[in-house]
Amino acid sequence: MKAVILSIGTELVSGQTVDTNSAYLSRELAGLGIETIAHATVGDEQPAIAAAIREAAARAPLVLVTGGLGPTEDDLTRQALAEVLGAELRLDARCLAQIEEFFRRREREMNPANRVQAMLPAGTEPLDNPLGTAPGIAATVGQSRVYVMPGVPREMELMFASQVAPRIGRSAGVVTHHILHTFGQGESDIASKIADLMQRGRNPLVGTTVAAGLVSVRILTRAEDRPAAEKLAQDMIALLRDRLGELVVGEDDETMSPAVGTLLLSRGQTLATAESCTGGMIGEMLTAVAGSSRYYLGGVVAYANQAKTALLGVPESLLAAHGAVSEPVAAAMAEGCRKRFVADWAVSVTGIAGPAGGTDAKPVGLVYIGLSGPDGTQVRRHILPGTREIVRLRASLTALNHLRLKLRE
């Protein structure tokens, strides 16, 4: 079975609010063996909403709509559905009683405007909403089944799980999703390595996306049952890992920080960090992983030269001779950090994140990354283009990636 998801709200179209409902519903539908073929976002205009419902119903036998069921003038989804059905809106006495009870339990007076939420297109079925005042609506448009739910995520999620999913039932077959995260090459380079595996119509279906500094390879698999789907997926993952080699950081939830943590734990080793231009971003990435205290000892954000000397033992003469953004200083930062924390490994970063501060000799985006470990200290020079935040993100990921690759040796 295929499905289309519609998200209603001008706040979504304008970018003021991020649509998390579509992502949730797509994941849930995949677990039911239903493929989502399109997401669409529509503003609070009745003709546009009605047109979107008609188009979606023509494309798929299942349409899920969220939003536009509130009590205000710009909540127009119920009116648009009535227009599509050619039906009038009628007051549902049971829904009205539930809305009145909702306010009574909270010792609040119901605003007369909420009465409109009990108005449903004739011939449709109400869906209970125990968490709010907007009942959902189940309807049939042509050959398609349409379910309209509130836009408030917690209300929508409960309604979908308790009322919509049981009505949909499980479609024949299973759809699974997996992700391989990579780092070290751009999306076009990754795609060129696996171009033959990305052809449309394949099963599994392979594609790439870029987010949070990583290039992720998505694997979508369809099969009659979960074991068959997982077998197809794991065969493809093995092939992708063989093609991409050490570029693969991890699978599914294992992004850069968890991958580094897993390697450190497997060796029984510890890590400390010394950061300048990244301002603690590496430490934040590491501590975002539950249980990271087993291998991450701590870090120093030494932004000013005085801090580099006082906290990490970087000689003033070294700073005077080479400047803070230099290979010798990055090495001294890493070595000083490792010594002070008594860590097996220490990573250091010093650079020019911009937008100002660059010169011809030391441009914006210049970063030195130091790695000090049991077999000595290494420093690598990088030019990382982008905005200040992008430079800091790339520098943080690159530093962790240097450690990841070293731990894999």
- Number of domains into which the chain is organized: 3
Element (H, E) at 241: helix 226-244
Query: Beta strands of 303-365 (E only): which ranges?
Result: 345-351
Any idea what the CATH number is for the domain that residue 204 is in? 3.30.70.2860
Same domain, 370 and 222: no
Mark whether 290 and 382 lie in a shared domain.
Answer: yes
Would you state the structure tokens that stand for residue 362, as one six-digit string?
């030391």
For residue 170, the model assigns a pLDDT of 61
Question: Do residues 337 and 370 lie in contact, with contact meaning Cβ atoms separated by under 8 Å?
Answer: no
State whether 145 and 273 are in the same domain: no
Last residue of a domain, one of 168, 196, 231: 168
Give kind and range of the element (H or E) at residue 365.
none
Judge if 182 and 79 occupy the same domain.
no
pLDDT computed for residue 1 by the predictor? 87
Is residue 194 within 8 Å of residue 244, measured between CB atoms?
Answer: yes
Question: What pLDDT was estimated at residue 118?
Answer: 97
* Final residue in a domain of this structure, among 207, 227, 251: 251
Reduced to 3 states, what is the DSSP secondary structure of residue 151? Answer: coil
Question: Which ranges of the chain have pLDDT less than 70?
Answer: 170-172
Considering the domain architecture, whether residues 286 and 362 belong to the same structural domain is answered as yes
Residues in the chain: 409
Q: What pLDDT is recorded for position 148? A: 99
CATH number of the domain residue 115 falls in:
3.40.980.10
Domain of 276, CATH number, reads: 3.90.950.20
Q: How far is CA 307 from the centre of its chain?
A: 35
Res 171: pLDDT: 60
Residues 125 and 234 in one domain: no
Segments forming the whole domain that contains residue 51: 2-168
Listed residues 168, 202, 235: the one ending a domain: 168
Q: Are the C-beta atoms of 120 and 85 separated by less than 8 Å?
A: no
Q: Could you tell me if 95 and 144 lie in one domain? A: yes
pTM exceeds 0.95: no
Same domain membership, residue 269 and residue 215: no
Q: Are 368 and 326 in contact (CB under 8 A)?
A: yes
Same domain, 225 and 157: no
- The answer on 266 and 244 residing in a single domain is no
Residues 237 and 144 in one domain: no
On whether both 246 and 324 belong to a single domain, the answer is no
User: Which pLDDT tens digit goes with each residue over 264-315?
Assistant: 999 999 999 999 999 999 999 999 999 999 999 999 999 999 999 999 999 9
How many whole angstroms separate alpha carbon 21 and alpha carbon 314? 50
